[in-house]
Structure 1
Amino acid sequence: MPRYEYRCRSCGTSFELNRPMAESSAPATCPDGHDDTVKLLSAVAVGGTARAAAPAPSAGGGGGCCGGGGCG
């Protein structure tokens, strides 16, 4: 279930709520009971390992396992 971050305009508290996407724009009440809240835009960071793309074949090379250098 997605997690959304909100800020209360009355007390300045930031808080998060887990809600279905269908309720993402529904009003939220802060933990102190205030209704004047705004949904914050969250940036998502995705971790992982980047892999380098395979180099493009050189011009004139025939490809194959040895780049066209006569495999047999």
Structure 2
Amino acid sequence: MPNYSFRCRHCGDTFEVNRPMAQSSDPAVCPRGHDDTVKLLTTFATVGRAGGGAPQAPTPPPSGGGCCGGGCCG
């Protein structure tokens, strides 16, 4: 289950709630009992290679065409 971060507008505390994605927009109560909370935007990033298999050759850059990619610009 994903974690969602919230901030209490009353006391300023930030806390996390573990709940199903279907309940991601439901209101959350601050651990101190305040109900004026706002869901925070969180980001998630990973570093690594998908698949974990043998390294693959880099993809060659697109060829020709200049700015529009198809060579139709003059």
For the aligned pair, the TM-score class normalised by the smaller chain equals: 0.5 to 0.7
Return structure 1 stretches of 4+ with deviation > 3 angstroms. none
The RMSD of aligned alpha carbons is 2.2
Q: Which runs of 5+ in 1 are unaligned?
A: 57-72
Give the equivalent residue in structure 1 for 2:57.
54
Tell me the TM-score normalised to structure 2 length.
0.66
Identity of aligned residues (%): 64
Task: Decide which structure has the larger Cα Rg and report it.
Answer: 1
CA distance in 2, matches of 1:5, 1:47: 22
How much has 1:53 moved relative to structure 2? 5.4
How much has 1:54 moved relative to structure 2? 1.6
Give the equivalent residue in structure 1 for 2:32.
32
Cα deviation 1:37-57 (Å, max 9, x = unaligned): 00000010213258x75254x
Alignment of 1:1-72 (within 5 A): 1-49=1-49, 54-55=57-58, 56=60
What code does the residue aligned with 2:57 have? A
Tell me the TM-score normalised to structure 1 length.
0.67
Number of equivalenced pairs: 56
